[in-house]
Structure 1
């Protein structure tokens, strides 16, 4: 399998730029690119061989997801409220999940970088946003709606991430193992978020 060409949004920051300019370049894009980038986060990398990297989209996804979870958490019955805030859990995920993915992809001798993993997982949060928002506005206690939304939105975003990572791993023997672990962790996380913060009466830990 050949690697996909993973490139930066617009043009890759030059190494001779100062640190601040290089960081800001990750948050700079044409206005019309963001909606397209969000839509592409749900499509497999079949038609386009380029995966552009930026942090503007992931930051927006984090804010939207935290907002949805915050509203869901506020509507839970008092006896079912989880002791950790949604923002705390999201921060932990955004720190641990990229680290786990980076270790796994390195074991598979992947050509993907840590920055590229951050961007991929960041755009993957839109799958969570649409899944949990759909569940919340329809009926937060209707598990069927949640599972259907999870298959449609989270499944599409997870599939894209796994396909991109799979195509960058050089060792065939570990491709399925690495991608399976990443997919399982992502699906389990959205299930945890739903039952802990969106489902109004589910008790994660009994007091």
Structure 2
């Protein structure tokens, strides 16, 4: 296991498990990212809501992100099934979620490279993947409540999505060397993540919301 450190002043982030073994082949290396005990998986899910103030260790694996994707896709599909017929979106939740999970790491990787960050693509995938648990808790609570005034959704978004987005941004921030770029990159990442959960809620969870075409 290789440990990579990214330092800014006295603050450091240590990525654990980002490079399991150079001796392993491609398939075996990918499989090793999915080997994780249930207890460790639960701890990493809980840590995905905590800012890296006390613990600077960030575990890298694919099991957590894949599980988050499955739970989130299931929740969105279930919520979409309860929308009124006239409000059904023309694309499936899994399709939208797949596009987001494919393009978001690419966008973040390009932005971090502009800031001369050494964070790898694999590390970003795992980091953003665990960030999906903020969406999971936010949307599940919103779906169960089914409030027409959306107050509970915004409260859950602030608590769960906000904490997971904050963790992602803080970790990315300390890996960027250029000070001017830090605020810009982290702001873009945070805005995209928050807007996406709002889009998911109103498109697939809110039972009556529908997109209306503006007539010219």
- Bin for the TM-score computed over the shorter chain: over 0.9
Q: How far does residue 140 in structure 1 lie from its aligned partner after superposition?
A: 4.7
Q: How far does residue 6 in structure 1 lie from its aligned partner after superposition?
A: 1.4
Deviations 1:46-105 (A, max 9, x none): 111110100000000000000110111000000000000000000000111000000000
> Is contact 2:76-2:204 (8 Å) kept?
yes
> What SS class does the counterpart of residue 32 from structure 1 fall into?
helix
Corresponding residue number in structure 1 for 2:209 = 202
> What SS class does the counterpart of residue 76 from structure 1 fall into?
coil
> Is contact 1:124-1:158 (8 Å) kept?
yes
Q: Distance in 1 between matches of 2:113 and 2:148?
A: 40
Corresponding residue number in structure 1 for 2:4 = none
* Correspondent of 1:161 among 156, 168, 176: 168
**2:44 maps to 1:7:** no
**2:185 maps to 1:178:** yes
Q: How far does residue 142 in structure 1 lie from its aligned partner after superposition?
A: 3.3
Q: How far does residue 175 in structure 1 lie from its aligned partner after superposition?
A: 0.4
Structure 2 stretches lacking a partner, 5+ long: 1-7
> Is contact 1:140-1:200 (8 Å) kept?
no
**2:32 maps to 1:25:** yes
Structure 1 stretches lacking a partner, 5+ long: none
Q: How far does residue 204 in structure 1 lie from its aligned partner after superposition?
A: 2.2
**2:123 maps to 1:99:** no
Corresponding residue number in structure 1 for 2:89 = 82
Corresponding residue number in structure 2 for 1:122 = 129
Q: TM-score, normalised by structure 2?
A: 0.92
> Is contact 1:195-1:204 (8 Å) kept?
no
Q: TM-score, normalised by structure 1?
A: 0.96
Could you list the structure 1 runs, at least 4 aligned residues long, displaced by more than 3 angstroms after superposition: none
> Is contact 1:82-1:205 (8 Å) kept?
no
Q: Distance in 2 between matches of 1:85 and 1:17?
A: 37
Corresponding residue number in structure 2 for 1:59 = 66
Alignment CA distance shift 1:118-1:205 (3 Å): farther
Q: Distance in 2 between matches of 1:189 and 1:20?
A: 32
> What SS class does the counterpart of residue 58 from structure 2 fall into?
strand
> What SS class does the counterpart of residue 144 from structure 2 fall into?
helix
Deviations 1:6-56 (A, max 9, x none): 1217xx421121112101100001231010000000000111111010000
In the alignment of these two chains, the number of paired residues is 205
